[in-house]
């Protein structure tokens, strides 16, 4: 037997409808079966868009002032607050703290790193809303003061310029609000302010001294902090191109030296190869020939017929006589194609000579 479905409709829902509800089901048949269930109903009001206010409204000086951000919501129940900076949740640390319900964020003390986009995210079980971005005002600086120029050669704090050039120097530093700048020129006995503003133009042909010392001062009117940087201007008639090439003169010299050494080593290796490679080839050729190709030594008494022995003979000398156990002389056919100069040998030609008397007898 299936029990019938039971439902309770509350329309419209009011805050007074919140509470614990008990549903009880009785089933009658051969006997009576009953069951009950307790249900808790909560009623929430959707969150309205929050608004963030910060104090002081005029801003805070870095390391001196503090900032308080307060999130206010006009509608919603069981609210949960979360603070975000640049889209990421903010955690408690040494300079950030929250009120018991997290609707207030305190930054003590304020620093340059605290500058960013802050929002307040408010949520409850049925909805969530995020506030508009707010950027608290924090005064800081100056930081990273430096001087640059549109011309000249800069090495450290020294600027070298050509005679007759007009050089524009720019002084800059990270600061809020923007700094006020002043330029000071120092000589042997005097120091005087020559210009106010972030830029200074120096005409090198109008400077009496070839070396001049300058100071750029940056001052923040709100933080009360001041910073300065010193630099020297050297006026030369040598020309910046020649001056810059002095530091690079070592590079071409090193290149020429390296190329020369390469050619010298290559020529030495080529000479050694030409000297020893033919000797090695001939030596291997001689050692590889069988004994049958060598003519055996004969003894002559001077009366034998030597007409068959005329020809060209080659005598090859080896530094190590024990390295070649065969005979030191052999017949050199013309087909070998190796000259005597290639393997330091000597070629002798034995020419047949017939005495005049023998020639007459023959006739």
Higher confidence at residue 198 or residue 282?
198
What is the dihedral angle through the alpha carbons of 41, 45, 51, 52, rounded to the nearest 10 degrees?
Answer: -10
pLDDT at position 251, please? 58
pLDDT at position 28, please? 77
Helix (H, G, I), strand (E, B) or coil at 59: coil
C-alpha span between 200 and 113 (Å, rounded):
32
Residues 129 and 98 in one domain: yes
DSSP label at 309? Answer: G
- In this structure, what token pair is assigned to residue 111? 């620093």
pLDDT digits (tens, 9 = 90+) for 14-53: 888 889 998 888 887 777 788 888 989 889 999 999 999 9
Element (H, E) at 170: strand 166-176
Residues 227 and 191 in one domain: yes
Residues 112 and 150 in one domain: no
pLDDT digits (tens, 9 = 90+) for 65-115: 999 999 999 989 999 999 999 999 999 999 999 999 999 999 999 999 999
Q: Of the residues 244, 268, 288, which one is the last residue of a structural domain?
A: 244
* C-alpha separations of 154 from 40, 151, 355 in Å: 78, 9, 99
- Whether residue 43 contacts residue 67, with contact meaning beta carbons closer than 8 Å, is answered with no
The predicted model gives 151-162 an average pLDDT of 76
Q: Of the residues 93, 120, 139, which one is the last residue of a structural domain?
A: 139
Q: What are the DSSP calls for 94-142, one per residue? A: SSEEE-TTS-EEEESS--GGG-S-EEEEEEETTEEEEPPPB---EEEEE
Residues 71 and 114 in one domain: yes
pLDDT digits (tens, 9 = 90+) for 74-86: 989 999 999 999 9
How would you list the strands of the sheet with 51-55, edge to edge?
51-55, 67-72, 104-107, 96-98
* C-alpha separations of 127 from 45, 85, 235 in Å: 9, 21, 71
Q: Among all chains, which residue has been given the structure tokens 């070649």?
A: 324
Residues 237 and 211 in one domain: yes
In-domain check, residue 6: no
Q: What is the CATH number of the domain that holds 223?
A: 2.60.40.10
Higher confidence at residue 182 or residue 280?
182
Q: Which domain holds residue 340?
A: 310-356
Residues 130 and 167 in one domain: no
DSSP label at 9? Answer: -
C-alpha span between 350 and 307 (Å, rounded):
10
In-domain check, residue 362: no
Residues 122 and 200 in one domain: no
- Select the highest-mean-pLDDT range: 16-25, 98-107, 149-158, 248-257: 98-107
* Nearest partner of 229 among 178, 170, 282, judged by Cα: 170
Q: How many domains does the structure of the chain reveal?
A: 3
Please say if the pLDDT value at position 55 is more than 60: yes
Instruction: Supply φ then ψ for residue 133, to 5 degrees.
Output: -75, 140
pLDDT at position 305, please? 53
Q: Of the residues 218, 244, 270, which one is the last residue of a structural domain?
A: 244
Please classify residue 331 by burial: count the beta carbons closer than 10 Å to its beta carbon, then call 0-12 exposed, 13-18 middle and 19+ buried. Answer: exposed
In-domain check, residue 186: yes
In-domain check, residue 255: no
| Helix residue ranges per DSSP H, the chain | 240-246, 250-287, 356-362
Q: Among all chains, which residue has been given the structure tokens 């005029």?
A: 58
Residues 146 and 239 in one domain: yes
Local confidence band at 233 (pLDDT 50, 70, 90 cut-offs)? confident
Residues 55 and 115 in one domain: yes
* Nearest partner of 311 among 331, 328, 286, judged by Cα: 331
Residues 145 and 135 in one domain: no
pLDDT at position 204, please? 65
Q: Among all chains, which residue has been given the structure tokens 């049958």?
A: 292
Please say if the pLDDT value at position 355 is more than 90: no
In-domain check, residue 258: no
The mean pLDDT of the chain is 77
Residues 151 and 132 in one domain: no
The predicted model gives 334-342 an average pLDDT of 41
In-domain check, residue 215: yes
With helix as H, strand as E and coil as C, how does 14-48 read?
Answer: CHHHCEEEEEEEEEECCCEEEEEEEEEECCCCCCC
pLDDT at position 129, please? 95
In-domain check, residue 127: yes
pLDDT at position 276, please? 66
Please say if the pLDDT value at position 122 is more than 70: yes
pLDDT digits (tens, 9 = 90+) for 283-325: 666 666 665 555 544 444 444 555 555 555 555 555 554 444 4
pTM over 0.75: no
pLDDT at position 311, please? 54
* Nearest partner of 280 among 345, 213, 343, judged by Cα: 343
Residues 145 and 237 in one domain: yes
In-domain check, residue 104: yes
Which residues contact residue 62 at a Cβ distance below 8 angstroms, ignoring those fewer than 6 apart? 109, 110, 111, 112, 138, 139, 140, 223
Please say if the pLDDT value at position 4 is more than 70: no
Please say if the pLDDT value at position 334 is more than 50: no
- Whether residue 180 contacts residue 196, with contact meaning beta carbons closer than 8 Å, is answered with yes
Which residues contact residue 112 at a Cβ distance below 8 angstroms, ignoring those fewer than 6 apart? 62, 138, 140, 141, 143
């Amino acid at each position: 037997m299936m029990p019938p479905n039971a439902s309770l409709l509350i329309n419209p829902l009011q805050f007074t409808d919140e509470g614990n509800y008990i549903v009880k089901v009785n089933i009658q048949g051969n006997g009576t079966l009953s069951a009950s269930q307790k249900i808790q109903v909560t009623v929430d009001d959707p969150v309205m868009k929050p608004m963030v206010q910060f104090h002081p409204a005029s801003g805070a000086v870095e390391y001196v002032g503090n900032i308080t951000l307060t999130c206010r919501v006009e509608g919603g129940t069981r609210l949960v607050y979360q603070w975000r900076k640049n889209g990421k949740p903010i955690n408690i640390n040494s300079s950030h703290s929250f009120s018991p319900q997290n609707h207030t964020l305190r930054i003590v003390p304020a620093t340059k790193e605290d500058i960013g986009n802050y929002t307040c995210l408010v949520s409850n079980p049925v909805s969530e809303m995020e506030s508009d971005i707010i950027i608290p005002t924090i005064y800081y600086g100056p930081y990273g003061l430096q001087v640059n120029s549109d011309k000249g050669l800069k090495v450290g704090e020294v600027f070298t310029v050509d005679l007759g050039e007009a050089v524009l120097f720019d002084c800059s530093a990270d600061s809020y609000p923007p700094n006020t700048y002043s330029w000071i020129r120092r000589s042997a006995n005097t120091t005087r302010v020559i210009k106010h503003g972030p830029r200074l133009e120096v005409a090198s042909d109008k400077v009496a001294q070839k070396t001049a010392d300058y100071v750029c001062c940056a001052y923040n009117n709100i933080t009360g902090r001041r910073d300065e940087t010193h630099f020297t201007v050297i006026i030369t008639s040598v020309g910046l191109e020649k001056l810059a090439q002095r530091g690079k003169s070592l590079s071409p010299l090193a290149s020429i030296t390296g190329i020369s050494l390469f050619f010298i080593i290559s020529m030495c290796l080529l000479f050694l190869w030409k000297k020893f490679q033919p000797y090695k080839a001939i030596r291997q050729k001689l050692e590889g020939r069988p004994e049958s190709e060598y003519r055996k030594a004969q003894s002559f008494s001077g009366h034998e017929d030597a007409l068959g022995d005329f020809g060209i003979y080659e005598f090859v000398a080896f530094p190590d006589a024990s390295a070649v156990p065969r005979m030191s002389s052999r017949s050199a056919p013309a087909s070998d194609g190796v000259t005597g100069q290639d393997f330091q040998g000597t070629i002798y030609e034995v020419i047949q000579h017939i005495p005049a008397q023998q020639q007459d007898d023959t006739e």
